[in-house]
């Protein structure tokens, strides 16, 4: 059974800091991995999707990497801003027909002005 872990559960950093959010998963047989952002009480916004054949994806100040063999992904946020404050979730889709996304519990990020 695939398990996705995100540690720590919460993180507080000063504005302008570069930071890394970690995600680990137990089964390396994945189709892809996604990072989402969730603002309090709201739905999820897809940030980056990495296919299993890829090593990383970039969008603006965000960079996500994937190391299937070690079961790890990182989300790098450059020059953090207070507007980046949110919960960041990673989710993996295992291989296999009709497989479903398995989510981590998320990391709640607070960027202090």
Partner 1 sequence: EAGVTQSPTHLIKTRGQQATLRCSPISGHTSVYWYQQALGLGLQFLLWYDEGEERNRGNFPPRFSGRQFPNYSSELNVNALELEDSALYLCASSLSFSTDTQYFGPGTRLTVL
CA gap 104, 91 in Å, rounded: 6
Question: CB of residue 50 vs partner 1: minimum separation in angstroms?
Answer: 10
Q: Which is nearer to partner 1, 3 or 17 (CB)?
A: 3
Shortest distance, CB of residue 43 to partner 1, whole angstroms?
Answer: 4
Of 22 and 32, the one with the shorter C-beta distance to partner 1 is: 32
| Nearest-angstrom CA–CA distance, 94 and 86 | 26
Buried b (16+ CB within 10 A) or exposed e, 77-94: beebeeebbbbbbbbbbb
Pick 68 or 93: Cβ nearer partner 1: 93
Residues forming contacts to partner 1 in the complex (CB under 8 A) are 31-32, 34, 36, 41-46, 49, 89, 91, 93, 98-106
- Do β-strands 30-38 and 56-59 pair in parallel, antiparallel, or remain unpaired? unpaired
Q: Which of 76, 33, 25 is nearest to 54 (CA)?
A: 33
Q: Which is nearer to partner 1, 1 or 83 (CB)?
A: 1
Query: Least Å distance between CB 52 and partner 1?
Result: 11
Least distance CB 15 / partner 1 (angstroms):
27
């Amino acid at each position: 059974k695939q398990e996705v872990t995100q540690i720590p559960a919460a993180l507080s950093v000063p504005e302008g800091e570069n930071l890394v959010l970690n995600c680990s998963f137990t089964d390396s047989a994945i189709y892809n991995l996604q990072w989402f952002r969730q603002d309090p009480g709201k739905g999820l916004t897809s940030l980056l999707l990495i296919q299993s054949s890829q090593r990383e994806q970039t969008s603006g100040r965000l960079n996500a990497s994937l190391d299937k063999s070690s079961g790890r992904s990182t989300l790098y946020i450059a020059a953090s801003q207070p507007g980046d404050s949110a919960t960041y979730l990673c989710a993996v889709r295992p291989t296999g027909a009709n497989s479903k996304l398995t989510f981590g519990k998320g990391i709640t990020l607070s960027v202090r002005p």
